[in-house]
Structure 1
Amino acid sequence: MADTSKRAAKLAREITGFAQRHGGSAEGQIAYVGQVGARIVLVGGDGTWGDLMAPSVECAKQATESAGITVRDTFDGEMAEKVRTGPYEWSRMAGIQVGGPSGS
């Protein structure tokens, strides 16, 4: 339990820092990814997105609560609409999907 609390506190600081760097706010969505834990997808107020891994859904929930961000049940259209992508993302997506540049 102490390890979960420490990890959640560290994640909360990272989430808060992300929000401060990207428009002063952020919202997130927590996704269970099996034995490896949970993914916290973040979208900043400026549309920048990122993600963090937590060792469990419980830890991810603790972290997002401590950071004070809005957490959505799903990465729905409203949340996706806020995401702003740049040339790197488009190049990377093209490399993965249609044989474009690999981005590596």
Structure 2
Amino acid sequence: MAETQTVEAPARATKDERRAAKLAKRIGAFATAHGGAEGQLAYIGEHGTRIVLVGEDGGWGDLVADTYEVAQKAVEKAGITVHEDFDGEFAAKVETGPYEWKRMAGIQIGG
């Protein structure tokens, strides 16, 4: 059993590194398209961790990593600033358009 654990641990680490590298590449592409980017990590339970991205131009998006550790590695590799919370000046950078307002209103009234 000890042999299995030593084989699985490096394989898992390699897989996580590949996932983090792929996410970092996508984060980098987002940052390039939006004049830079900042982010925030939000643990979403067994589904992983959400990486919320906000561009310098107000554009926003998100990605989901399998684990919090993979998300952390991805943002580190991408070199973006990561915020503890999604509030204040960071949240104020997000620009929403008619689609978002309509969607949010629809959710509020049960649509």
TM-score by length of 1: 0.91
Identity %: 62
Residue 83 (str. 1) matches residue 94 (str. 2): yes
Deviation at 1:98, TM superposition (A): 2.3
Runs of at least 5 residues in structure 2 that lack an aligned partner in the other structure: 1-12
Residue 97 (str. 1) matches residue 97 (str. 2): no
User: Who is 2:39 aligned against?
Assistant: 28
TM-score by length of 2: 0.86
Structure 2 CA distance, aligned partners of 1:58 and 1:75?
19
User: Who is 2:30 aligned against?
Assistant: 18
Structure 1 CA distance, aligned partners of 2:26 and 2:100?
22
Aligned residues: 99
Amino acid at match of 1:50: G
Deviation at 1:48, TM superposition (A): 0.6
User: Who is 1:6 aligned against?
Assistant: 18
Runs of at least 5 residues in structure 1 that lack an aligned partner in the other structure: none
Runs (4+) off by over 2 Å: none
C-alpha RMSD of the superposition: 0.9
Match of 2:72 among 61, 75, 81: 61
